Structure 1
Amino acid sequence: MSWLVVFYFILGLYVLYILSLTLGLSKLKSTDLKLQNQLKTKFSVVIPMRNEAENLPALFQSISELSYPKNLFEIILVDDDSQDASWKFAREFQARYRDIKICLLSISEEKYTPKKNAICTAIRKSSFSYILTTDADVILPENWLKSLDAKLQSTGADIIAGGVVVTKKSSFLSHYQHFDMLSLQLFGLGSFAQKYPVVCNGANLCFRKSAYLEADVNRGKENIASGDDVFTLQKFKQLGFKIDFLTDSQSVVWTQALESFEGLWQQRRRWASKTASVESWYLKSVGILVTLMQLTLILSLILWFWESAFFGFLINAFLLKFFVDGWSLTRMVKIQNLGFCWTDFLKVSLVYPFFTLFFSLTSFFGKFEWKGRRFQK
């Protein structure tokens, strides 16, 4: 029975943390800003790409539909030795939209891991004072740049993190990724609301170029294949730069779900490669708490075969966690005017502990593959 006490203690800690995180969202200042008549911020939009031919048409279409003066932004596409038709599509995009300043580059840096090299190459060639990074597999909202301009004019922030949502398709795997990304975004928004920002997403991240160069965010992180976004946020915070989060619905970027379990697992292994280098005990503590919560659910399912009391804990814990997590996510999606389906969330919740625990326990060892390359942790 002593294990039941431990399990209920972990459940209590988890529920209290989620409740405090969610209630803290009320501290966020409304960012559903009226788009200002005087647009003035100039953006260099940096997009690294490697073997993204399948996703580029949708990205390019969304870029062409951005409602922002063409003289106030540039697109910098950095090719990382693509083996498919990515470069061909990029050239066609450049030729078709001559009213948009589109710069095509190949990686010239060799100091860092590939994505860091791509970002550094683009920043060195950029013309404008604000850098805006995103990915090649996203769809950008029409008023994306207008929202960022309004936020920058009203706050003068040095770095602004924005929301990223995984598109939910028919496959169960896409549903898992959709809700998992919403959970990460809840954690991100909650940390910003508590004035302790620790995570952001490089698919929607804007920062002042001069501050980035001053921060030298890659120092000591040269060989880490992931975490460019978190390391940037971490360094800006250390140096006292002004940090903000863009919450309005017009700024959310939509990204594609990975189609295979193997691909998802490799992505999680890549993300885990940065964990040891993230200088935040708060972030690591939350990661441990979430992992322990999933572990207690699975262990209670196993121990139920020997002790019926664990069945009661399993039912109570699952239902309490389901409703608390669901309530917290509905509060978060309401802020960004996103939809939420309780039925889909229930389906994902039934397997979420198994998926998440598997990724957590297997992501810290050995090598991983990403975009056709192998990396050492």
Structure 2
Amino acid sequence: MACNSNVAMGEMLVLLGLIAGATWLSYAAFAWNVGRRLKAADRSSLPVGNISGELTVLIPCHNEAKALPHLLNDLHSQSHPVRIVVINDASTDGTRRAAEAAGITCIPAESSGKKSALATGFKHVKTPWLATVDADVRLGADWARSLLATAVRENAACVLGGVVISAEPSTGWHRFQRLEFAVMQTWIAGGVQSGRLAMGSGANSLYATADYPADALQPEWASGDDAFALLALRQADKAIQWCGGPDAQVVTSGAPNWKALWQQRARWASKTGDQDAETRRTALTIAAVHTVPVALAIGALITDGTTGWGMLVGFVAAKALVDWRLLALAGREFGITWHAGDAALFPFRYAVLVWGAWWQLLRGGVQWKGRQI
């Protein structure tokens, strides 16, 4: 009996090892594809001169009285003039007053939700180009000019700019978020540049007004306007471009705590079922590569031997190498540097993020701005 038990334990470890190896190879292939597809970001200054094309910026707002004045000030300071449309999505604070204090009329959304707010704002667009931004972002003076220049040069229906987590305050928690979000944005950048992925952020997107798919936003979802709009454009074979220069980036704040970050990522993960095959495959790869260590730890406890623990340590170390490769790509794309301690802790913090997000998704109750997903 003992012999049979040992054989079974050995077979289980072999099976776990094969699964771990296949999962790591899938994760390594993901990182390799990101690097292969990624084009070097153009960090040169924009040429002096006028960029043709009028632009309307849509800002859907739900209780953004504190953040909105800063964004409106940034938009008023653009080197390329923009028209601003603020849409009030059932705010209960001073959002409307904040917009009006800056000289902007605040339009009430026709019904509740960000999708409805965007659809309402779209009806007020009279320019050939429109952009969508979140009310809590900050942007530089050449933001509009940079996105428009890319759209005109590439004859694109949509141009996506990067979203960067603020470097302040410079705590370990915020530096982790800045790095992790940059890794995700780098995957998006490579996918968009290669034409293989329709994914971006509604916090920083520019569209040709004639191509904006206002009827494809799926208002039954509380968020995800960016994902559904880009998917519709891709299905219509419209050109989607990435603008990697720093002038095109917007800056936003990180989540205040783990729970808020888990909720955010669970909300994003909830939409992957309606996305393209690559997005779904990537989500499954990320989930699998963070599930394998748990399975290996359980296997090591059951077998009560050094082989299982050695497999666990080896897998964690091998995964960390891929994580660090992704960090290097993200740092190059977004000009982000990090401390050695940040890199050492990143694989473990990343695992906590993935586990927590999936737990939030499985248990339900995912919310966005107080609204049930």
- Residue 228 of structure 1 deviates from its aligned partner by 0.9
Residue 310 of structure 1 corresponds to: 308
Residue 245 of structure 1 corresponds to: 242
Give the letter for the 1:93 counterpart. A
Structure 1: give runs of 5+ residues left out of the alignment. 95-101
- Residue 330 of structure 1 deviates from its aligned partner by 2.1
* Aligned equivalents of 2:95, 2:349: Cα separation in 1: 36
The residue correspondences of 1:1-377 to structure 2 (distance < 5 A) are 1-2=13-14, 3-26=16-39, 30=42, 32=44, 34-68=46-80, 70=81, 73-94=82-103, 102-108=104-110, 110=111, 114-168=113-167, 169-213=169-213, 216-218=215-217, 221-278=218-275, 280-305=276-301, 306-375=304-373
For the pair shown, which has the larger CA radius of gyration, 1 or 2? 2
Deviates further, 170-179 or 113-122: 170-179
In 2, are the aligned partners of 1:33 and 1:147 still within 8 Å (CA)? no
Deviates further, 243-252 or 268-277: 268-277
In 2, are the aligned partners of 1:175 and 1:348 still within 8 Å (CA)? no
Deviations 1:208-245 (A, max 9, x none): 111115x7323xx2311222101111111111111111
**Could you say what secondary structure the match of 1:304 adopts?**
helix
Give the letter for the 1:157 counterpart. A
Deviations 1:20-44 (A, max 9, x none): 3212214x68574733512212111
- Residue 292 of structure 1 deviates from its aligned partner by 0.4
* Aligned equivalents of 2:114, 2:206: Cα separation in 1: 16
- Residue 170 of structure 1 deviates from its aligned partner by 4.1
**Could you say what secondary structure the match of 2:233 adopts?**
helix
In 2, are the aligned partners of 1:33 and 1:150 still within 8 Å (CA)? no
- Residue 60 of structure 1 deviates from its aligned partner by 3.0
Structure 2: give runs of 5+ residues left out of the alignment. 1-12
In 2, are the aligned partners of 1:161 and 1:244 still within 8 Å (CA)? yes
Give the letter for the 2:108 counterpart. S
In 1, are the aligned partners of 2:113 and 2:219 still within 8 Å (CA)? no
**Could you say what secondary structure the match of 2:182 adopts?**
helix
1:226–1:273 Cα change, 3 Å: farther
Report the TM-score when normalising by structure 1: 0.87
1:310–1:351 Cα change, 3 Å: farther
Give the letter for the 2:19 counterpart. V
- Residue 309 of structure 1 deviates from its aligned partner by 2.0
* Aligned equivalents of 1:352, 1:335: Cα separation in 2: 20
- Residue 276 of structure 1 deviates from its aligned partner by 2.4
* Aligned equivalents of 2:236, 2:371: Cα separation in 1: 34
1:334–1:106 Cα change, 3 Å: same
Give the letter for the 2:107 counterpart. L
Deviates further, 52-61 or 36-45: 52-61
Residue 6 of structure 2 corresponds to: none
* Aligned equivalents of 2:240, 2:48: Cα separation in 1: 21
- Residue 142 of structure 1 deviates from its aligned partner by 2.0
* Aligned equivalents of 2:284, 2:147: Cα separation in 1: 34
* Aligned equivalents of 1:324, 1:366: Cα separation in 2: 31
Deviations 1:257-311 (A, max 9, x none): 1213332233223223322222x12211111111100111233344433332233
Report the TM-score when normalising by structure 2: 0.88
Aligned length, in residue pairs: 357
Q: What is the identity percentage for the equivalent residue pairs of Structure 1 and Structure 2?
A: 23
Give the letter for the 1:81 counterpart. A
Aligned-residue CA RMSD in angstroms? 2.3
1:156–1:81 Cα change, 3 Å: same
1:82–1:16 Cα change, 3 Å: same
* Aligned equivalents of 2:101, 2:368: Cα separation in 1: 26
- Residue 53 of structure 1 deviates from its aligned partner by 2.5
Deviates further, 366-375 or 352-361: 366-375
